[in-house]
Structure 1
């Protein structure tokens, strides 16, 4: 099956493209335009599973790296000793943090897994986001990270893969230009009746991850 390239605002029926689709892998990649001697550039992938009120029904449905420290996690199936955040029902398994966006093996920088068969009926959409980790949440507590933004990031993309077959279903390359934004709602999976669709969002914000938390909690 050929992969489809989406543009901002386009919607795509996952259920029609891959009948019987159950587990999707959401892969994201980027190339940070690091400055010589500058601060570490750490981008993080997170997800918000929302109900009809556009809110997460419980903290478990905010899937981000911090859940690992809180014990809401499982060990990665391939990389032993590394842990992924997970929702209480096991429907969404979040990303292993890649602190610098420099994976050299051709894989996505970060990925997450969504088992559509386990998503509770009251969850209407899952928004996948990418944010820049900044002081005081960065590993080195470097205040220079406060000046980082998506204008310094290149080749950002999100792709949806059928986990059972390994086939890429669709891809969305982020082509917008930014000035000060440090958080992007990259795309969303949402219900249409008994089917699932994907929308390429590309909606940017300032305030990093906290802005999205304030929106959806």
Structure 2
């Protein structure tokens, strides 16, 4: 039975699951009926940051066109352009023991592709969640349902894995961005 988190809650991941090393971070969502006629494409992006929350280079910004960090310890499974069907829409594989020591946080975000052009926002998205699965046992350890707190936002920081001494923890963030991917990229220290 997974532990269900609330916004702002933090939880030990490796301390309460000794030996945990390889995980899948699954993110999923549904889109409400949309009468604009355009596709509704949500994208997961990952920022591998230092303790100050900044990436060292473009290689630490993982998304469908840059599917892994430099040493392959964080890997994006690929772009799901429709979000159709049950289960995870996009997944990130993380080998916790191989994450470079310079990476202190791994932030998971969801943005809407071409949101401004298509006049789309997270008010039209429902059932968004993130979950962490132990790859060795296929057991779902943690789940965070984002709820319906967003209206005009086009990007969301869902949560982050972070180091606490020798252990990894997870923080359920659920923070919206009105300027989507451009705002996230800027705030995590890259040029938009």
TM-score (norm. length: structure 1): 0.83
Distance 1:156 1:47 in 2: 16
Asked whether the equivalents of residues 45 and 95 of structure 1 are also in contact (C-alpha less than 8 Å), the reply is: no
Q: Residue 51 of structure 1 corresponds to which residue in structure 2?
A: 50
Q: Residue 18 of structure 2 corresponds to which residue in structure 1?
A: 19
Asked whether the equivalents of residues 182 and 206 of structure 1 are also in contact (C-alpha less than 8 Å), the reply is: yes
Instruction: Give, in angstroms, the shift of residue 66 of structure 1.
Output: 2.3
Asked whether the equivalents of residues 45 and 130 of structure 1 are also in contact (C-alpha less than 8 Å), the reply is: yes
Aligned length: 189
* Counterparts in 2 of 1:182 and 1:37: CA distance versus 1, 3 Å: closer
Q: Residue 3 of structure 1 corresponds to which residue in structure 2?
A: 2
Q: Deviations over 1:59-109 (max 9, x none)?
A: 111001122xxxxxxxxxxxxxxxxx1111011001311111103xx4311
Which structure has the larger Rg?
1
Structure 1: runs of 5+ lacking an equivalent: 68-84, 137-142
TM-score (norm. length: structure 2): 0.94
Q: Deviations over 1:15-54 (max 9, x none)?
A: 1221111111000111111324521100000100101232
Deviation beyond 4 Å, 4+ runs, structure 1: none
Distance 1:46 1:95 in 2: 11
Asked whether the equivalents of residues 17 and 169 of structure 1 are also in contact (C-alpha less than 8 Å), the reply is: no
Q: Residue 120 of structure 2 corresponds to which residue in structure 1?
A: 148
Distance 1:131 1:207 in 2: 10
